[in-house]
Amino acid sequence: MYCDPRFSRVREVFERQLADGAELGAAFAVHLDGELVVDLWGGVADRHTGRPWEHGTPAFAYSCTKAITATVLLQLAERGLVDVRGAVADVWPEFAARGKGAITVEHLLTHQSGLPVVEEPVPVEEFGDLAAIAARLAGQAPLWEPGSAHGYHALSYGFLVGEVVRRVTGKSVGELVSAEIAGPLGLELWVGAPDSVIARTARLQAGERPQTGAGPAATEGQAETEEQGEAEKAVPTVVAEMAKAALDPHSLMNRALGNPGMHRLKGGANHPDILRAGWPAAGVVTTARGLAGFYRSLIAGDLLRPETLRDAVRPRVDGPDRILFLDTSFGLGYMRPSMTFPMPSATTFGHSGLGGSLGIGDPERGLGIGYVMNKMANAVSGNMRGLRLVQAVYDSL
C-alpha cells in the first residue's frame, strides 16, 4: 500500500473502517495532478473462502459504469459519428416507434427519455444479448413526455446508450472501452470481464436489506442508515414516499431497478454471466486504481477534449427524480453534486454505484478518485464509508 504523507488522514480513515468491521474488503485510490498519491487496499475479497483483498483485486462497481459509457458516446460525438442533440432514431430507426421520434441522444444521457423500465420481463437467456434488450425498449412508449422530467434509468440507460454506440460503430461499449480507453491507458477496467479477471474479482456480500418484492436490485433506492437519518430530518415526505415505493414490487422504482433482474441468478452480481455481460449501465469490473486512473485521464484531456468535458459536466437536469424521489443532478451521463451525490465541492463530477462504489473527477483540484468494496450498503449514491474517504481527501488538500 502507498499513501503520500500529505494524505495520512485518508489512510487513517481507511484502516479504521477495516478494523472496526465497517468494511469487509475495499480499495481506495487517488490521483492528484496525474500522480498516484493514495493506493490503499485491504480486508477480505471473498468471505466464503477467506481470500484476501490483494493489490490487483477488482470488484463489480455497478452504476459507476454509466460515466464510462457516457465517455465512449462522447468520444464518438467528437469524431462526428453521432450528434448528441440529434434524434436517436437518426441512427436507430426502429426507436421512433410509439411516439419516440423526437427523443434525442441527450435525453438518453440525462435520464429524460421516459424509458426507465424494461416493461417485459427479460429472460435470463437474454442477459448477454444487449441488442435484444434494446429492441424491447425500442418497442415501448415513454412513461412521460421526453424532456419534461428526469428519472434515474438505472439499467435501461445502458441498453439505450449502448445501442446507439453499436449502431454507429458495430461494436459494444465494452469492446470500445477495451480498445480505446482501458487498453491504451493500461487501466484495470473492464465492461464485460474476461474469465481470467472474473476468477480474481471480489465477491460482493449483501448488507441488511428492507423487504421488497423486486429482489436485491430494488434496494438501490434506499439510503444507508446514517444517511437516511439526516435525510429524514430534511425531507421527511420524500423519504416516506421513497420507502413506500421500495416496499411496493410494482412501483416505478422497483420496476426500473429490478429488470433485468440480476437476483434471478445464483449469487446475483457475483454470477459469471453478469460479470461477463458488460451491461453499459451496470457492468464495470475494476480496481480502485483503474477507476481513479479513468478520471485522471478524463480530466487530463486524454479521453475527451477539455471543452467537450466542460460541456458534458454542465448540469442539464437538477431536482426531484421520478424514480428515486430525492434530488438528482446530471450532465451528459455524469452525476453532479446533489442529495444523491453529496460531494465536498461543487466542481466534482462522476458516478456512484449501488452499494457504495464511487468514481470521481475534480478538474479544478486535479483529482481522480476511485473506491470499490464488497460489503454492500443500501445506498443509491455511495455510502458513508466512501464519503468519509472522499472528505478526508479534500480535508488533506
Average predicted confidence (pLDDT) for the chain: 92
Are 200 and 188 a contacting pair, CB within 8 Å?
Answer: no
Instruction: Show the cell assigned to 2.
Output: 502507498
What CATH code is assigned to 2-396? 3.40.710.10
pLDDT bracket for residue 383 (50, 70, 90): confident
The pLDDT of residue 241 is 87
The pLDDT of residue 379 is 57
Using N-to-C axis directions, what is the helix angle for 156-169 and 65-78, rounded to 10°?
30
Residue 180 burial class via C-beta count within 10 angstroms: exposed 0-12, middle 13-18, buried 19 and up? middle
pLDDT in tens, 31-47: 999 999 999 999 999 99
From 303, 335, 361, 302, select the one nearest 72 (Cα to Cα). 303
Q: What is the DSSP string of 262-287?
A: GGGSTTGGGSHHHHHH--SSS-EEE-
- Say how far apart CA 337 and CA 327 lie, in whole Å: 10
Q: Report residue 172 CA to chain centroid gap.
A: 17
Are 205 and 375 a contacting pair, CB within 8 Å?
Answer: yes
Q: What is the DSSP string of 60-91?
A: E-GGGHHHHHHHHHHHHHHTTS--TTSBGGGT
- Say how far apart CA 92 and CA 89 lie, in whole Å: 4
Task: Return the minimum-mean-pLDDT range out of 109-113, 119-123, 205-209, 317-321.
Answer: 205-209
Backbone angles phi, psi at 28, to 5 degrees: -145, 130
The pLDDT of residue 218 is 34
Q: What is the DSSP string of 327-361?
A: EEEESSS-B-SBTTB--SSTT-EEEE-TTS-EEEE
The pLDDT of residue 243 is 84
pLDDT above 70 coverage of the chain, percent: 91
- Say how far apart CA 311 and CA 309 lie, in whole Å: 5
pLDDT in tens, 140-163: 999 999 999 999 999 999 999 999
Q: What share of the chain is helix, strand, coil (3-state, %, to 5)?
A: 40, 15, 40
pLDDT in tens, 72-81: 999 999 999 9
Cβ count near 128 (within 10 Å): 15
Amino acid 56 reads G
- Say how far apart CA 270 and CA 282 lie, in whole Å: 13
The pLDDT of residue 37 is 98
Q: What is the DSSP string of 207-234?
A: ------SS-GGGGGGPPPHHHHHHHHHH
- Say how far apart CA 108 and CA 131 lie, in whole Å: 16
pTM greater than 0.95:
no
Alpha helices (runs of H) in 156-194, residue ranges in sequence order: 156-169, 173-177, 183-185
Residue 359 has pLDDT above 60, yes or no: yes
The mean pLDDT value for 301-327 works out to: 97
pLDDT in tens, 220-275: 333 333 443 444 444 568 878 888 988 899 999 999 999 999 999 999 999 999 99
Cβ count near 209 (within 10 Å): 14
The pLDDT of residue 209 is 46
Backbone angles phi, psi at 277, to 5 degrees: -70, -35
Instruction: Show the cell assigned to 277.
Output: 455481460
DSSP code at position 135: H
